[in-house]
Amino acid sequence: MAFIKDYTDLPDFLIFSICVIFDDFLVQCTSISEVRYLLMESHLMLSQYKLATFLACQRRFQLRYLRHLPWPNVPLSARTEANLHRGQEFHQLLERHFLGLPIASAAIVDAQIGQWWRQFEANWPFGNDFSANVRFLPETGLTVPLGDHLLYGRFDLLVMGKDKENIPFAHIFDWKTGKPVDEAALNGRWQTRLYLALLAEGGSAFLPQNSQLIPEKISLTYWYVQAADTPITIDYSTAKHKRSWAELRKHAAHLTEATAKDSWPLTDDLAHCRECVYQSYCDRREAGMVHPERLNKIELVEAEEATLLNEQLLTPELP
């Protein structure tokens, strides 16, 4: 079953559906409001960034996501701020496009964004693979149960439809305005593994009743404006999903154990400490500190997380 956005926005009948999955709540709760509270307090909402943080340093995960200690903002350079703004604007432009709103190239004020838009028009990343009978779902979120927690991701664009054999398929598109990354590196990223696994587990929620989405019909395309004519598409499979989901479940169980024991060991890799503002909490200041803008990039890259469980709404990914 897929869950959308924040528990506070869910209708009561969906809250009861969640209780069926996590049936221990049926014993504990006497009201819908109590159900909502327990859901938020007992189950962590995990994104690609939270998982990566937990695996990099459990202590940082605790300080940032459980104790909610602030991550200080450092002023960005004019160039970095401009690139960030352009990345946001371009993502919003494509969102409007796939919502069916007209886009006038002449009305795009920023020359760089206008160039990116023309590259998009000239290098339509879908080719002729999709029929007219598909749904374009921009900026779409999906949440599925993962052990004692919930796994969340938000897609720049999700395309749902049926292929020539009338089999349902799902195709994710992710827009990148930064420097291109090769396929091998993308395959190793949590974004790739988590997005594909999310759809395999919960993507059938976007299909008509009794329809099933199989891993072999799921794919993810990274489209870089700097390599507009060579998008990178990563396909999925049942074998890949078994490995990915087993790994995700293992990490979720590890997180549950750490939470129960309240044990949050420090990383052994001091390189992670150089990108962490919590050094003083851990007596790791001898690791040194990277440039302040690198710290801001770590903060800004968490933008694909929605406003979940009272977290601050973060800025979209730094281009």
Mean pLDDT taken over the chain: 79
124 versus 102: the higher-pLDDT residue is 102
Domain spans in the chain, listed from the N-terminal domain onward: 1-42, 44-75+266-319, 79-122, 123-257
pLDDT value, residue 287: 62
What is the rounded CA–CA span in Å between residue 125 and residue 39? Answer: 39
Section 169-173 average pLDDT: 95
pLDDT value, residue 42: 56
pLDDT value, residue 229: 92
- Mean pLDDT: which of 102-106, 123-127, 256-260, 272-276 is highest? 256-260
Phi-psi region of 194 (alpha: psi -120 to 50; beta: other; left: phi over 0): alpha
Q: What's the pLDDT tens digit per position in 183-217? A: 999 999 999 999 999 999 999 999 888 889 999 99
The predicted model scores a pTM of 0.78
CB 108 within 8 A of CB 89: no
CB 105 within 8 A of CB 118: yes
What is the rounded CA–CA span in Å between residue 149 and residue 40? Answer: 10
pLDDT value, residue 37: 42
| 278-to-39, 52, 171, 262, 314 alpha-carbon distances in Å | 29, 17, 39, 18, 19
pLDDT value, residue 36: 46
317 pLDDT more than 80: no
| 247-to-28, 126, 265 alpha-carbon distances in Å | 31, 31, 20
154: confidence class by pLDDT, cuts 50, 70, 90: very high
Per-position b or e across 87-106, b if 16+ CB within 10 A of its CB = bbbbbebbeebbeeeeeeee
What is the rounded CA–CA span in Å between residue 116 and residue 92? Answer: 13
17 pLDDT more than 90: no
Q: Is residue 91 helix, strand or coil?
A: helix
44 pLDDT more than 90: no
State phi, psi for 12 to the nearest 5 degrees: -60, -40
**What is the Cβ-side half-sphere exposure of residue 170, based on CA atoms within 13 angstroms?**
29
Per-position b or e across 216-232, b if 16+ CB within 10 A of its CB = bbbbbbbbbbebbeebb
28-37, 55-64, 173-182, 230-239: least confident range: 28-37
Q: Which residues pair with 315 in a beta bridge?
A: none
- Non-local (6+) Cβ contacts of 278 within 8 A are 59, 60, 63, 64, 69
86 pLDDT more than 80: yes
pLDDT value, residue 132: 65
274 versus 299: the higher-pLDDT residue is 274
106-110, 205-209, 313-317: least confident range: 313-317
| 61-to-50, 69, 313 alpha-carbon distances in Å | 7, 10, 18
